[in-house]
Amino acid sequence: MGQLRQFKLPDVGEGLTDGEILQWLVSVGDTVTVNQPLCEVETAKAAVELPSPYAGTVTELLFEAGTTVDVGTPIITIDTGGDAPAPAPAGDGAEPAAGLIGGAAPGGRTAVLVGYGPRTTEARRRPRRAVHGVPAPSSSPSPSPSPSPAPVGADYGSGGQERPPLLATAPDMTTKPVRHGGLEVGRQAEAHAIAEGAAPSSAAVPGRGRQRPLAKPPVRKLARDLGVDLTALTGSGPGGVITREDVTAAAAGPQAPAVDPAPDLTTDLTTDLVPAVAAVPSSAVPSPGERVPVKGVRKATAAAMVASAFTAPHVTEFLTVDVTRMMKLRSRTAARPEFAGVKVSPLLFVAKALLLAARRHPMVNSSWDEAAQEIVVHGQVNLGIAAATPRGLIVPNVKGADRLSLVELAAALGELTETARAGRTAPADMTGGTITITNVGVFGVDTGTPILNPGESAILAFGAVREMPWVHKGRIRIRQVTQLALSFDHRVVDGELGSRFLADVGTLLSDPRTALAY
């Protein structure tokens, strides 16, 4: 037997950390020459063939095809012949000689690699020398009792003279100057998380994996502004990236900021009708990889959505509306004595606008009867409100909503919300709906393409109300703006009708006085 050499998976593409062995092009016992292709490897950048750095006989393939291997890991052992030391069992003793590929290069580097990533044991940073006379690094820069006190800077260029490490301590989080504003609040939250040792999760272990939650800079800023601790969130984006929605949902959720930010439209809205987002216990969030059985409301929702999506041809239209006047009306209305006991939410006005518009366009409040080949135009509006509850999505409805006054409608919506939040919605309240509103704005999102509640012909999504630059009376003003999205069943409602209906809802919200004309 000759000398055994191992070939470590190199970084073939500037900064890669692993690669998948697609297939081996050689087998154990094969004789290989230098640069003969050994295997095909696919990385994040390219699929490439790896040529052999050695001539010899293949003695072992260390991974099967289909395995993803970290850069720097030996993948094949080749007997290069010659009068080398007797082979050690594969594994420990097979370390190649210094200076050879895979061995330690001068300078403590692994010779196999030029790029990043694959530093293995022998390439680790050597420990700092003990510094004579200097106690363990402390956070206070105490004068060094060095036996040979030298003027500062005198040891520059003095060769091997030892001196205290330049960066002995981590920056002290607690001594940061406190400034105003959400930025500092967020920093403190981060610092707090770090100081807490923060680390039941492996994500916070320094040096292993990622210690910083993944999020784009604007999302980080949003989190700071809202006082959301990113380390406490599980990202829903690709690769676990924390998204804007995750942050706004967390801001609306039970772990809402310890610091009360200035009254803000978003939070105002979230408390309006959030049936139950806030009540969802965080423990209900499944852990990655968990398989959740489909049952109950989830099962019913799935069946209903599939039935709806694949029987009713959906069309969705969008409208952006300046709702400043509606928001003012809402404030004035809330101040009226007869509304004292009820909740006056933006949703209330959206519901009212929808009901008024539906009166002008009764066909949107209808159903397709497949068996009878008829369209059923409903005599009354049973207004459904999509609600997220601890049990899942339910759509209770307010019967005869079109015949209610505004205060009655407010009371009915309030009751519906309370009941849903408590999980006591009766089955009868969830059947017989004729048209639905889904208030996606409470989650801080702008709009969506809602799926019809089965049997209904229209559903309106109400987005977040935001302060936006808007052309108002020929000038750019900051106005309160929202987006409406209407999905309708094209078997029943044509584009013209759907558009007119949506436009009417929008007009009523942008100028509520229009209602007098309806």
Partner 1 sequence: MSVSSATTEMVDPVPGAAAPHLPQQPDLVQLLSPEGERLEHPEYSIDVSAEELRDLYRDLVLVRRWDVEATALQRQGELGIWASLLGQEAAQIGAGRAMAAEDTAFPTYREHGVAWTRGVDPLHVISLFRGVDNGGWDPVATRFNLYTVVIGAQCLHATGYAMGLQRDGAESATLAFLGDGATSQGEVNEAMIWAASFSAPVVFFCQNNQYAISVPLERQSRVPLYQRAAGFGFPGVRVDGNDVLAVLAVTRAALAAARDGQGPTFIEAFTYRMGAHTTSDDPTRYRLASELEEWKLRDPIARVKAYLSRTGVAGPEFFDAVEAEADELAARIRSGTTEMPDPPGTAMFDRVYAEQTPHLAAQQAQFEAYQASFEGGGH
Question: Which positions touch partner 1 (CB under 8 A)?
Answer: 7-8, 10-14, 34-35, 45-53, 99-101, 105-109, 111-115, 125-129, 155-163, 165-166
CB of 13 to partner 1, least distance (A): 4
Measured from the CB atom, is 107 or 427 closer to partner 1? 107
Choose between 63 and 470: whose C-beta lies nearer to partner 1. Answer: 63
By C-alpha distance, which of 234, 221, 489 is closest to 368? 489
> Does residue 481 contact residue 321 with C-beta atoms inside 8 Å?
yes
Nearer to partner 1, 12 or 191 (CB): 12
The three state secondary structure string of 380-434 is CCCEEEEEEECCEEECCEECCHHHCCHHHHHHHHHHHHHHHHCCCCCHHHHCCCC
Least Å from the CB of residue 286 to partner 1: 36
- The least CB distance from residue 127 to partner 1, in Å, is 6
**Interacting residues of 147 by C-beta distance below 8 A, sequence separation 6+:** 132, 133
Residue 324 C-alpha from the chain's centroid:
31
Angle, vertex CA 180, rays to CA 178 and CA 183, nearest 5: 90
Residue labelled with tokens 């209808």: 366
- Report the distance separating Cα 413 and Cα 273, nearest Å: 9
Q: Least distance to partner 1 from the beta carbon of 495, Å?
A: 16
Q: Which is nearer to partner 1, 74 or 384 (CB)?
A: 74
- State the CB neighbour count (10 A cutoff) for residue 385: 24
Closest to partner 1 by CB, 13 or 400:
13
Tell me how far, at minimum, the Cβ of 470 lies from partner 1, in Å. Answer: 24
Closer residue to partner 1, CB minimum distance, 19 or 186: 19
CA distance 352 to 462: 13
Task: State the catalytic residue, choosing from 192, 314, 361, 490.
Answer: 490
Q: How far is the CB of 131 from partner 1 (least distance, A)?
A: 8
Residues 74, 77, 82, 88, CA torsion sign: positive
The tokens of 461 are what?
């999504």
Please name the residue that has the structure tokens 């709906």.
Answer: 433
Note if 132 is an active site residue: no
Residues 6+ apart with CB under 8 A from 74: 6, 7, 8, 9, 62, 94, 102
Question: Which of these, 369, 364, 374, 371, lies nearest to 495 by C-alpha position?
Answer: 364
Which residue numbers are catalytic? 490
